[in-house]
Amino acid sequence: MRLVIFGASGQCGRILVPMAADAGHAVTAVVRDGTDYTPPTGVALLRGDPLDASFVAAAVAGQDAVASCLGLRRRRPANPWSALTSAPDFVSRSAACIVAAMQAAGVRRVCAISAAGVGDSAARMNWLMRFFVATSTVGAAYRDLAVMERVYAGSGLDWQAPRPTRLTDGPATGRVAEIDSFPLSAAIARADVAGYMLAQLERPRFERRTPTITGA
């Protein structure tokens, strides 16, 4: 599979890129201008703006599938109340560029990271996540992801937006469960999110559009 990965330098993207390459796929890693990132051997690298329609079109052309690990950036990533350094609609606007590029190039499959509690899963969030969404920049990210999901839903493409629960570091366990809630204890390693995305992209089609996923 020829796979282009947007957000390759992010916390999930950095895991997905070598994982896909090690699985034998032809990977193109896309990072934003000025990002400090060196791809693994054999992985093509493109630098540019995901909001630049012509750049995105060039990155998507000739691919079999697209993965997006794009997300909003904060000045201090570990602080949910830190100011955003990216536009609050960055992810949804980049999704619109990706959709247009895929439609023009005839590329049909895209998997993009969302989050548990986004969209119609909001009612199933635990109290702590409700607090973060209500009081911090997590709320801006969730609103942007909800619009992103609607962009893909209206695209006519074969799309999926996995909604991981609380993200953690550490090695992949290979144990991922699809659940219908977001309890306080739920968490999943970023490596398992990457593994789930790759496994879904390797299938002929997506069975679920917005599965909530957690560590099993």
pLDDT, one tens digit per residue, over 31-68 is: 999 899 999 999 999 999 999 999 999 999 999 999 99
Alpha-carbon span 149 to 123, nearest angstrom: 17
DSSP per-residue letters across 85-148: SS-TTHHHHHHHHHHHHHHHHT--EEEE---TTSGGGGGGB-HHHHHHHHHSTHHHHHHHHHHH
pLDDT, one tens digit per residue, over 109-146 is: 999 999 999 999 999 999 999 999 999 999 999 999 99
Contacts of 5 (CB under 8 A, 6+ apart): 13, 16, 17, 20, 27, 28, 29, 30, 66, 67, 68, 69
pLDDT, one tens digit per residue, over 144-163 is: 999 999 999 999 999 999 99
22-30, Cβ contacts within 8 angstroms, sequence gap of 24 or more? 23/198, 23/202, 25/1, 26/1, 26/2, 27/3, 28/2, 28/3, 28/4, 28/59, 28/63, 29/5, 30/4, 30/5, 30/6, 30/59
> Does residue 77 register a pLDDT over 90?
no
Query: What mean pLDDT do residues 168-194 have?
Result: 95
Rounded to two decimals, what is the model's pTM?
0.95
Structure tokens at 158: 């074969």
Percentage, residues of the chain above pLDDT 70: 100
